[in-house]
Amino acid sequence: MFAILRDLIRYNIEFAFGLLLLGAIILFSAASLFSPVDPAMLYTVMPDQPPSWEHWFGTNSRGQDLFWQLSFAFRNSLIFGFTVAFISRIISICVGLASGYLGGWVDRALMFINDIFLALPIFPVLVLFYFVLRDSMDSFTLALLMACFGWPYDARLIRSVAIGLKHREFTRHAVFSGMSTPRVLAQEHLPYVMPIVFSTFMNNMLWSIGLEVTLAVLGFTNINEPTIGTVIYWANSHSAMVVGVWWWLVIPIILVMMTFLGLFLLAVSTNEYIDPRSRLRRMGG
């Protein structure tokens, strides 16, 4: 794993740049651990102050220091995206490996369920859940719901790899040696799909954070919990651009673009690494 990471940083400038962008956002979000104020508190500073040495990102119309508010917001959004991606990766790995290796009626049943989730319109379903669970709709609940919809595409991709691995010589040797099916999948097949899992992990984080921002901006989440989307929601509610508090919208959008670009570059460069021809070309082979 460390050898792969070393090669990606050394030979792929996109991966290195994406890692730099995402690392900067993670360090910024980690600053929330040292915040002198509670992000839920209002009017702790003078409202509508532009960026200065005292308030690096300025203050908003609710009397909050935007540096600390955005630090909390990005920490919550990154944790949210990581939770969705992690849970959905577990589902996609289990379904994809089992479906590809076992085949038969197990494959047909799992892919039938997979196709049902693919056909569901995700955004309207999440809005419906918001109205049903409005009083208990926190970030973790929303993450669980989104994780249930974030695995089908990647499960099919893992299944296609597992079908090829099923007929490889090392799989036959593992079966003849008496290894059980779970051990074959975990010890023999899982390492081959880990680059795909990492790539789809980045894509899934990108998708989940983007969808959370969309839901929050429209008011379909807990708007009192600091996230990237709720910061933009309150900026729109107070007409930040109209009243001249431009930093309330511009700074979050710049940071969001850095986050999305970093995740996108990591996903694309990992996809390229999976292809042996692209990898050899990068390394001068």
Query: pLDDT tens digits, residue range 30-44?
Result: 998 888 888 778 888
Residue 5 pLDDT level (bands cut at 50, 70, 90): low
Residue 92 pLDDT level (bands cut at 50, 70, 90): very high
Residue 219 DSSP SS3: coil
Q: What does the buried/exposed string (b/e) look like for 233-242 if buried means 16 or more CB atoms within 10 Å of the residue's CB?
A: bbbbebebee
Closest CA to 174 of 98, 183, 96: 183
- Across-strand partners of 65? 59
For residue 171, is pLDDT > 90? Answer: no
Q: How far apart, in whole angstroms, are the C-alpha atoms of residue 252 and residue 273? A: 32
**Tens digits of per-residue pLDDT, 247-258?**
999 999 999 999
Of 81-90, 138-147, 171-180, minimum mean pLDDT range: 171-180
- Across-strand partners of 230? none
201 within 8 A of 91, measured Cβ to Cβ: no
69 within 8 A of 255, measured Cβ to Cβ: no
Residue 167 pLDDT level (bands cut at 50, 70, 90): confident
DSSP 67-132: HHHHHHHHHHHHHHHHHHHHHHHHHHHHHHHHHHHH-HHHHHHHHHHHHHHHHS-HHHHHHHHHHH
**Tens digits of per-residue pLDDT, 227-275?**
999 999 999 988 888 888 899 999 999 999 999 999 998 888 877 776 6
Residue 21 pLDDT level (bands cut at 50, 70, 90): very high
For residue 284, is pLDDT > 60? Answer: no
**Tens digits of per-residue pLDDT, 61-78?**
888 899 999 999 999 999
CA dihedral 151, 153, 159, 160 (to 10 degrees): -160
